[in-house]
């Protein structure tokens, strides 16, 4: 894993000083195949959307620095594969995570119902020492909606987790999602002032499964 980057900042501010070490938080994205996990990360990182669907193979890793009012944090975004053959990899990535972002497709009720299983998986590995966010993606397909905002609110309250609806395609609520996460992170609740890409990408593949 690469060391902390030192992004350029307006006004020449130096966030890389040894007196202010960069705090890192691991976010793991979970959910069924094709719900939009990768698209949410891509929209947040690069403000783009790819209409061509390509399933994530194994685990993909990106990072981004966020500047808060009282600190600078590095978010490590781990994009997991939704296919069943990669499920055995996921617990090891949940184990040391600070945040679990569990995504479902609002046009696919099964993906919503399965969020309970994903929350259980996270709690089994991390107990209560983790932030969990339930994300209903693809609000741009509202005419095909099978899960209402009320369904999401009810499920989130039952599970004791945060929740939000998004559209990676339209960019709706994506920045808000990450802002909510940043404000909930341990060590402060400051408002996000700006974000800057300091991206690095690594593809973690399971060699034993790559040919499955």
Q: Quick check: is 158 in a domain?
A: yes
Determine the Cα–Cα distance for residues 37 and 45; give it in Å rounded to an integer.
13
H-run or E-run covering 137: strand 131-137
Total tally of structural domains belonging to the chain: 1
Could you read off the pLDDT of 183-196 as tens digits, one per residue? 899 876 544 444 44
Q: Quick check: is 122 in a domain?
A: yes
Total length of the chain: 212
Q: Quick check: is 209 in a domain?
A: no
- Assign residue 41 the CATH number of its domain: 3.40.50.300
Q: Quick check: is 61 in a domain?
A: yes
Determine the Cα–Cα distance for residues 112 and 22; give it in Å rounded to an integer.
35
pLDDT of 150 higher than 60? yes
Residue with tokens 């932030």: 131
Mean pLDDT of the chain: 80
Neighbours of 149 (CB within 10 A): 14
* Interior angle at CA 32, CA 27 and CA 35, nearest 5: 80
Q: Are 64 and 199 in contact (CB under 8 A)?
A: yes
Domain interval for residue 85? 22-182
Q: Quick check: is 113 in a domain?
A: yes
Please state the pTM of the whole predicted model: 0.77
Q: Select the highest-mean-pLDDT range: 7-11, 22-26, 153-157.
A: 153-157
């Amino acid at each position: 894993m690469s060391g902390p980057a030192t992004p350029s900042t307006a006004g020449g501010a130096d966030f890389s000083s040894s007196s202010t070490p960069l705090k890192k938080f691991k976010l793991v994205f979970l959910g069924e195949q094709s719900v939009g996990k990768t698209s949410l990360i891509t929209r947040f990182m690069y403000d783009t959307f790819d209409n061509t669907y390509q399933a994530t193979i194994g685990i993909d890793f990106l990072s981004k620095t966020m500047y808060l009012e009282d600190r600078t944090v590095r978010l490590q975004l781990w994009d997991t594969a939704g296919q069943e053959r990669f499920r055995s990899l996921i617990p090891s990535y949940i184990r040391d995570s600070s945040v679990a972002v569990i995504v479902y497709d609002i046009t696919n009720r099964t993906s919503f119902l399965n969020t309970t299983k994903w929350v259980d998986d996270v709690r089994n590995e991390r107990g209560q020492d983790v932030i969990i966010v339930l994300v209903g993606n693809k609000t741009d397909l509202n005419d095909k909606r099978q899960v209402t905002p009320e369904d999401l609110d009810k499920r989130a309250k039952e599970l004791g987790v945060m929740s939000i609806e998004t559209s990676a395609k339209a960019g709706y609520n994506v920045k808000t999602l990450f802002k909510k996460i940043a404000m909930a992170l341990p060590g402060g609740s400051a408002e996000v002032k700006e974000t800057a890409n300091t991206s690095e990408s690594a593809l973690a593949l399971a060699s034993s499964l790559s040919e499955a």
